[in-house]
Amino acid sequence: MSHQILHRVTARMLWDDRFAQEVFAAPAQALAGLDLDDDERVALAQLDPRALRVDPLRRRRTLQALCAELPVSVALVLNELGRVSSLDAYFQSAPFHQAMMARGSMFLAFTAYLRSLHLRCPQLPDVLRVEESLGVCRRELERPCARITAAPTPKAAWVARAPGVATLTVDGETLGWMTTVQQTLFELSLIPAMALVNDAPRVPPLTPPGEGEAKLLVVHPAAGGSGLLELGRVVHMLLGRLDGPIPTAEALNQACRLGLSQARAEDLISDLHEEGLIIAERP
């Protein structure tokens, strides 16, 4: 497995100049705790620093891809901190390095990093949850979905929430905050050079949290548009209970416990299947 560790450490050095310098200066200390022998540590310490700098825009392009999935969250972070370096510091953070060593998601590591900043912006947590959920759902559509791979007894009919579908409860003002920030970002995109001037459009004051009823969202990027649906309390709660495959009879019982008649529960399961919000398997 040491060759995999070598590859992952090299990748960390590519993105984190400070870590690379630590490896060059004191490899035993910088690489402590990793399953590497002395020769492998020496090999890492003797990498040509110029090879790590072949692509000077590597970090910036990576940030571009990450920020494209979290535009409103990133705007709120920069609106408070006022420094792009606060985003660049992600590549020196614990979430980044942990993800690289575990072959985890760089996207989820970035959202974890943004949370670790503990900013004062009260709108950020719910906005970040929405954009993170959209990103997770998009990824579920691109690869096998682990939460539905283990079906119950093959002879039993079952249902499960479809890959790329999630439920979320957020502050009632969340979508309004996102729309307001998106409008500002759109204005800036019209003339990118406006970012260089003092009177460029800025994110206006946002309404405080807690002023409206909580919003029950169904996250469904494949539906198009914003990928966010408001389908009512019963649908929201039922979908939330279908994380993994459960027998169809149990799903119907769950719907009835939410106040539906047996006939209405059967219709709802059928409708959700037709709309692509659940998947079903018949014996």
Element holding 281 (H helix, E strand) = strand 278-281
Average pLDDT for 9-14: 96
Contact indicator for 204, 79 with CB cutoff of 8 Å = no
pLDDT at 142: 87
Instruction: Reply yes or no on whether the pLDDT at 1 is more than 60.
Output: no
pLDDT score at 212:
79
Among 115, 84, 92, smallest CA distance to 18 is for 92
- Coil, strand, or helix at residue 122? coil
Distance CA 165, CA 222 (A): 9
Confidence of residue 149 (pLDDT cuts 50, 70, 90): low
> Amino acid identity of 245?
P
Amino acid symbol at 94 = A
Position 283 scores a pLDDT of: 60
241-266 per-position pLDDT tens digit: 998 889 999 999 999 999 999 999 99
pLDDT above 80: residue 282: no
Give the CA-trace dihedral at 34, 40, 46, 51, to 10 degrees: -80
pLDDT of residue 150: 54
- Nearest C-alpha neighbor of 20 from the set 29, 9, 28: 9
Domain boundaries, the chain: 2-142, 146-281
- Identify whether the C-beta of residue 214 lies closer than 8 Å to the C-beta of residue 194: no
Unique residue bearing structure tokens 């399953």:
35
Of 157, 140, 144, 149, nearest in space to 246 by CA = 157
Mean pLDDT of 151-162: 72
The answer, yes or no, to whether residue 63 has pLDDT greater than 90, is yes
**Percent of the chain residues topping a pLDDT of 90:** 86
Q: How many CA atoms lie within 13 A of 33 on its CB side?
A: 4
Angle at 151 between CA 145 and CA 153, to 5 degrees: 175
Confidence label for 156 from pLDDT (cuts 50, 70 and 90): low
Q: How far apart are CA 136 and CA 44, in angstroms?
A: 34
How does pLDDT run across 82-118, given as a tens digit for each residue? 999 999 999 999 999 999 999 999 999 999 999 999 9
Closest by CA position to 283, among listed 149, 154, 161, 159: 154
